Structure 1
Amino acid sequence: MNGRNTTVIGADERMNPVVATVQGEVRGVYGGELYAFKGIPYAAPPVGGLRFRAPRPPEPWNGVRDATTFGRIAPQPIQSGPGAQRREMSEDCLTVNVYTPELGDAGLPVMVWIHGGAYYVGSSADPLYDGTRLARLGVVVVTFNYRIGPLGYIDLSSFSTADDVFESNVGQRDQLAALAWVRDNIRAFGGSPDRVTLFGESSGAGAVTTMMATPSAEGLLHKAIAQSSPVGSVYSPETARVAAERFLRRLDVTADQVRRLRRIPAGALIEAGARLVVDTSTTEPGTIPVAPVVDGELVTEYPLTAMAKGDALRIPLLIGSNRDEAMLFRLLRSPIVPNTSKAVQLMVERLGTPEALAVPSGYRGYPRLRPALQLSTDAAFRMPTVWAASAQSRFAPTWAYEFDFAPPLLRVAGLGAMHGAELPHVFGTPVPRWVAAGAVSSGRKLTERMQRRWVSFATDGDPNPVGMEPFWPRYDTDSRYTYVFGGRDRIVSDPHGRIRQAWGDGIIAFR
């Protein structure tokens, strides 16, 4: 069955809609205004001999498959604390979820979301990523799971033999498979395969900007939104090999025994990977051992290099970061982003180049904690965002933003607009009233503005809905116009220009 010829089956049964996909029929739910389909396989279970291999197409099924609940999430460390979600984990996790206001060939724009989580935690089932409110604005929202941690982002390809192949970037390959599923099936869910916007946050945004440097992604996405992308956190094969060797040592597996990794329980792999992430981030601040790699096959260049040369996908890009990114990691005491003065100083020393060693002079009061945290924010997110916007703007329409909104409670606590703070406003998902206290009305209005701009970009390739002020001009290296989201939105030319100049004109990144 060809995806372009899929048809809606039983569309008159609105409460229990059935849609035909390439692999078979699925039954979702209708909640009034919106249809939702969850847990649809987009690839075969990557288990047994398919562990550490590129995803394979899913097997067709007979009858109607239930698509009313989320699929199992990718294996990952169990999260604790307030709001932590307890969901069943399985390597059989490669599923998509679709939220749509219409079924059939309606030709709506499609927004495909890649969840964040430092490439080793997270899932599409997180309530924060509920696509309902965005879809109500006239777009089809797709979310999905992909392999993370050591099962998705430890590169074992250098250990391959003729009889036992390990492929690189399998997490990125999963994302490509999900986009291919969208291309082949989304018409039946009301979307257009020719109007796909890929968007994500944190490592999900890093996956988006990496996808822009992936030649095989050509035609699968037509616009991109990157929220707090660690654009530079893409590593060389040599760096990836070091991480893989450390991973093997934690499992007492020698280089000639790598095939054993296909039989070791997933839980043991996840535990070893989690320890490796924490240890590496602590001893080598600014790096994480699970991340995309420039393998010369799937990812042919560093994303920032590809953008600068015009080799990246020349598609419209909306990209930005939050003013106080590092504060979340300080709050969680997570070393993934350096959040102590000592860790930030070690990060600068490890970069080692004269240009990097000169950067702290641009931060008044460094190495005291507050300026050190700002340097960490800039190193991980803001400067890579500036470099990406500057490069891409030479070849495709580009818009830059900074998110600077926080309720009074968070500002008084010194947390500000920390990492991930924009997510409830993009998705329209509620936050506890005690968190939003003092800013409920302004937060609600900000949500409306951000959603309208995101949907306008996905619809028309321009984040300027008719009649909305202020006008958001494109980014270029002369004006460096940046849209600042806050209690009152504003346009700023070259925000933090003095610090940007302290970083110089080159790209400073770990490889």
Structure 2
Amino acid sequence: MEKVIVQIEEGALKGTTRTDINGRTIYSFLGIPYAKPPVGELRFKAPQPPEKWIGVRNATANGNGCYSRNMLNMITGSEDCLFLNVFTPELPAENTNSLKPVMLWIHGGGYTSGSSDIKVYGPDFLLTEDIVLVTINYRLGVLGFLSLDDQELSVPGNAGCKDIIMALKWVQRNITSFGGDPNNVTVFGESAGGAVVHLLMLSPMAEGLFHKGIAQSGSALNVWSLGKSNSAKQLAEILQCPHTDDKDILNFLQSLPDHSVNLVRPVGPIIEKASGKEPAFLTENPLELILKGKYHKVPLIMGYTSNEGIFFETPEKRKKRSKVVDLERYVPHFYELAKGSEGSKEIANSIQTFYFGDDVPDVEDRERFSIINTDTYFLRGIYTSVRSHSITSKQPIYLYRFSVDARLNLIKKFANISLKGAGHADDLGYLFKTLMTPNLPEDSVEMITVRRFVKLWTNFAKTGDPNPIEGVTWNPVTMRELNFLDIGPELVSDVNPDNDRMTFWNNVEMKMIPS
């Protein structure tokens, strides 16, 4: 592999080369620090700009991911984790004006796990098109999303999201050194990463840092997208902290080793309390921001996999599942109905009638519970997001459903699940090459899907329009028509995906609106 040197604002980097699936050379730079290590007194706080270095920094190995527990229940990573990777098909010659669109990837993992590891998010598919790819780590769990009420302590929450803002600022300063165009940046992500893409559209801190967004299987309106404020109080109780004052709690938590503080949930992005001390990432309720039109109006792709709920059928999830059917758990928390109340029970009965008919709900009915989980945790929030943006934005909004069910469906393959459809995260294997990716014949459904999927996403990154594509037109959503593209064995343009299920939830929503 060839060694290559690139000069950025912070210093010189030594990268290397690899090849994409077409055999073309890719220039690879791994483990680049985009912020100061968030350790010691910087734990839980907003990221600080990176320090410069002397000499040439080795950028040929992955940087640390954030300290977390992965899907195999193994503890990995480090608190010093604010690194990114850059992949480009061409390094710029001097005085070049030919810069390529930039795509910045935000990994998922429920805000508690994941990283930009090249073994999981390899660039070999996406770099067949003329784009520059950036993949990033950000702080997870308590390290990324702890919040305190005392504004003087500078821990208002959302540090992990502010990490991503810092990474986008790094792109603005440095991406031309890799042939990327800082004026044509697309942020894209999946699951929690997709929700963060959507939150970036709503964040005043992200203004001017990106120009298009792709949110895969996640939105700011999903029931899991936001956490609770002042999470430090809850964490202090769990860790048996003897203090109740915010300052004393912070000192206690900053004194602990990283493994003591970062294996606790729930945490996530929050609506920050107004403060003049430092910029806030999110200041108002996401739906209110969308309906008021108070957000960055950029071209948007948003969508989901056909059976997201397969994720809840993994062996680890099934092992933790109660054997008692409780349909009230599917009543959205933002309805603010007490469990066991008349209103909560009424909605639960409606769910039973719609999804089960005259049958008695059974936790072993994996197919129907998978669909309920798809709708409750993913589709309903994505559907509402797209509808709401169509009212207040003049920029194109494209909706899709990914339904390919083949060998690159990661979750189904990893967990050996036989349910039909594409599960949560099953689309990732068609954008990124992993250690598990087999050799693919060019005429296989997998390779055909890779070529199509990559083309759609990179077309959008280049122009804000995923078209043209073979034999079909992907129309944007309008206020009157919920156009979408089904990305299956064939590309099919249609309207109103899974309409009967979404009509049911719309009717539930209407009942909650006071007359």
Q: TM-score range by the shorter chain?
A: 0.7 to 0.9
Q: Is the 8 A contact 1:341 1:373 kept in 2?
A: no
TM-score (norm 1): 0.84
Q: Distance in 2 between matches of 1:469 and 1:222?
A: 28
After superposing the two structures, state which structure 1 stretch, 289-298 or 328-337, moved more.
Answer: 328-337
Q: Is the 8 A contact 1:212 1:303 kept in 2?
A: no
CA shift digits 1:400-452 (9 cap, x unpaired): 00111113896981153110010011225475559x99x98112111110100
C-alpha deviation, 1:348, in angstroms: 2.0
Q: Distance in 1 between matches of 2:401 and 2:146?
A: 32
What residue in structure 1 maps to residue 22 of structure 2? none
Q: Does 1:18 align with 2:11?
A: no
For 1:402, the aligned partner's letter is R
For 1:142, the aligned partner's letter is V
CA shift digits 1:438-495 (9 cap, x unpaired): x981121111101000000000100113x52211011124221111111122122102
Q: Does 1:55 align with 2:47?
A: yes
Q: Distance in 1 between matches of 2:321 and 2:294?
A: 31
Aligned to 2:240, the other structure's residue is in SS state coil
Q: Does 1:478 align with 2:469?
A: no
Going from structure 1 to structure 2, the CA distance change for 1:333 and 1:492 (only over 3 Å counts) comes to farther
What residue in structure 1 maps to residue 120 of structure 2? 128
C-alpha deviation, 1:303, in angstroms: 2.6
CA shift digits 1:359-394 (9 cap, x unpaired): 554324473433333122111111111111112223
Q: Is the 8 A contact 1:319 1:385 kept in 2?
A: yes
For 1:118, the aligned partner's letter is G
CA shift digits 1:306-352 (9 cap, x unpaired): 22221121000000011111112221433899897735532328553
Q: Distance in 2 between matches of 1:468 and 1:45?
A: 46
Aligned to 1:54, the other structure's residue is in SS state coil
Query: Structure 2 unaligned runs (5+)?
Result: 20-24, 274-279, 338-342
What residue in structure 2 maps to residue 195 of structure 1? 184
CA shift digits 1:175-210 (9 cap, x unpaired): 000000001100110000000000000001111111
For 2:303, the aligned partner's letter is G
Q: Is the 8 A contact 1:329 1:337 kept in 2?
A: no
Q: Distance in 1 between matches of 2:236 and 2:4?
A: 47
After superposing the two structures, state which structure 1 stretch, 387-396 or 125-134, moved more.
Answer: 125-134
Question: What does 1:306-385 correspond to in 2, within 5 Å?
Answer: 306-334=289-317, 342=325, 344-348=327-331, 351=335, 352=337, 356-357=347-348, 358-365=350-357, 367-368=361-362, 369=365, 370-385=367-382
After superposing the two structures, state which structure 1 stretch, 252-261 or 93-102, moved more.
Answer: 252-261
What residue in structure 1 maps to residue 452 of structure 2? 449
C-alpha deviation, 1:173, in angstroms: 0.4
Aligned to 1:122, the other structure's residue is in SS state coil
Q: Distance in 2 between matches of 1:430 and 1:152?
A: 28
Q: Distance in 2 between matches of 1:508 and 1:29?
A: 59
Q: Is the 8 A contact 1:109 1:192 kept in 2?
A: yes
From 419, 424, 430, the equivalent of 1:419 is: 424
Q: Is the 8 A contact 1:237 1:295 kept in 2?
A: no
For 1:166, the aligned partner's letter is V
What residue in structure 1 maps to residue 18 of structure 2? 31
What residue in structure 1 maps to residue 160 of structure 2? 171
What residue in structure 1 maps to residue 237 of structure 2? 249
What residue in structure 2 maps to residue 404 of structure 1? 403
Aligned pair count reads: 470
Going from structure 1 to structure 2, the CA distance change for 1:479 and 1:361 (only over 3 Å counts) comes to farther
What residue in structure 1 maps to residue 80 of structure 2? 92
Q: Distance in 1 between matches of 2:202 and 2:352?
A: 30
For 2:473, the aligned partner's letter is F
Q: Does 1:293 align with 2:270?
A: yes
From 145, 152, 159, the equivalent of 2:144 is: 152
Q: What percent of counterpart residues are identical?
A: 32
Q: Distance in 2 between matches of 1:343 and 1:175?
A: 37
C-alpha deviation, 1:503, in angstroms: 1.1
Going from structure 1 to structure 2, the CA distance change for 1:70 and 1:339 (only over 3 Å counts) comes to farther
Question: What does 1:40-79 correspond to in 2, within 5 Å?
Answer: 40-79=32-71
Aligned to 1:421, the other structure's residue is in SS state coil
Going from structure 1 to structure 2, the CA distance change for 1:304 and 1:427 (only over 3 Å counts) comes to farther
Aligned to 1:318, the other structure's residue is in SS state strand
Q: Is the 8 A contact 1:26 1:64 kept in 2?
A: yes
Going from structure 1 to structure 2, the CA distance change for 1:255 and 1:474 (only over 3 Å counts) comes to same
What residue in structure 2 maps to residue 219 of structure 1? 208
CA shift digits 1:199-227 (9 cap, x unpaired): 00000111111111101101101000000
What residue in structure 2 maps to residue 284 of structure 1? none
What residue in structure 2 maps to residue 462 of structure 1? 465
Q: Distance in 2 between matches of 1:421 and 1:191?
A: 29
Aligned to 2:419, the other structure's residue is in SS state coil
Q: Distance in 1 between matches of 2:290 and 2:256?
A: 39
For 1:127, the aligned partner's letter is K
TM-score (norm 2): 0.84
Q: Distance in 1 between matches of 2:471 and 2:288?
A: 34
Q: Distance in 1 between matches of 2:208 and 2:373?
A: 35
